[in-house]
Amino acid sequence: MATKANIWRDPAFRWTTGIAFVVVVAYLALVGLTWYQESVGAALQWSHGGATGLQALLTALTALAVIYYLIETRRLRLLSQRQVEVSERARWPLVAFTLEYEAVLPEWKGAALYARNLGDGPAVNVTISGLATSFHMSAVHPAVSALSASGQTVVAQWKQGTNQESIRHEVGNMTLCVKCSEQTGKRQLSWVWVGQPNSPGQFTLQSFDEGS
């Protein structure tokens, strides 16, 4: 029963079945017209008309079967392509940002803005634009050669003792555009993250683009 339900949900099957129904109705109408003409003595004979109509019906049904086969083959090919794309996307990186007021990595002191790869694949040749600079900052790193899955690195560093309110204000006004390649290098991925002044240290994803 589940198989039948799946078949009837298939648009190609419904389309082909509908056309076949129309052909059968047309054939029956032809047979009825032929019988009527024979009954009133018309030149068209039932035997000739019926055989011709049956041959036309079989030809039309064969053509419909071929069309359905071609549609189903194309549908399966597209489904296979989508499955491959989903599998590839599962291994893509996802570069996001978090603000930490305390040192997370031992080599850094003070508040820092971290780029984190939340995806399952490494990010290669990462570039970040929109990192605002100020006299409070001690370092800015807009380029990262590679960021492994679950990896993180500092992209902006504030001087020790900088007022947290000043840091939140600067981060809240940032709009960060990130570009990188996924592991195979086939696609260039980019994200635009917008700082939230009302949610200090938080970013909202504005857009995402997957180039080719």
Question: Is 206 in contact with 96 (CB distance < 8 Å)?
Answer: no
Q: Are residues 99 and 61 in the same domain?
A: no
Determine the residue type at 27: Y
> What are 20-35's pLDDT values in tens digits?
677 667 666 766 666 6
79 and 131 housed in the same domain:
no
- Do 82 and 99 share a domain, yes or no? no
d(CA 182, CA 59): 52
pLDDT value for 47 = 47
Residue ending a domain, choose from 29, 62, 89: 89
Number of domains in the chain: 2
Domain check: are 81 and 109 in the same one?
A: no
191 pLDDT higher than 70: yes
- Provide mean pLDDT across the span 183-196: 87
pLDDT attached to residue 33: 65
115 and 76 in one domain? no
How much is the average pLDDT of 47-58? Answer: 60
Does 76 have pLDDT greater than 90? no
Are residue 76 and residue 100 in the same domain, yes or no?
no
Q: How far apart are the C-alpha atoms of 182 and 187, rounded to whole Å?
A: 6
Q: Is the pLDDT of residue 176 over 90?
A: yes
| pLDDT for the residue numbered 46 | 45
Residues 124, 191 within the same domain: yes
Which contiguous run of DSSP H or E holds residue 125? Answer: strand 123-129
Indicate if 152 and 199 belong to the same structural domain: yes
* Predicted pLDDT of residue 75: 78
For residues 176 and 203, the answer to whether their CB atoms sit within 8 Å is: yes
pLDDT exceeds 70 at position 159: yes
Query: Token pair for residue 53?
Result: 């109509």
176 and 153 in one domain? yes
- 12: closest CA among 20, 3, 2? 20
Q: Is 2 helix (H, G, I), strand (E, B) or coil?
A: helix
Local structure of residue 166 (DSSP, 8 states):
H
Question: How does DSSP classify residue 132?
Answer: -
Q: What is the pLDDT of residue 41?
A: 53
Query: Would the pLDDT of 164 be above 50?
Result: yes
- Both 114 and 196 in a single domain? yes
Enter the pTM of the model.
0.59
Q: Can you tell me the distance from the alpha carbon of 124 to that of 81, in angstroms, rounded to the nearest whole number?
A: 25
* Mean of the per-residue pLDDT values of the chain: 77
Residue 41 sits in the same domain as residue 75: yes
- What domain range is 197 assigned to? 95-210
Which of the pair, 143 or 132, is modelled with greater confidence? 143
Residues 23, 16: Cα–Cα separation, whole Å = 11
DSSP string, 46-77: HHHHHHHHHHHHHHHHHHHHHHHHHHHHHHHH
- pLDDT tens readout for residues 91-102: 889 999 988 887
Which of the four pLDDT bands, split at 50, 70 and 90, describes residue 175? very high
Residue 45 has pLDDT above 60, yes or no: no
How far apart (Å, rounded) are the C-alpha atoms in residues 132 and 58? 74
* Domain match, 110 and 184 both: yes
Q: Give the domain-ending residue among 47, 72, 89.
A: 89
Domain boundary residue, one of 43, 60, 89? 89
Residue 1 binned pLDDT confidence (cut-offs 50, 70, 90): very low
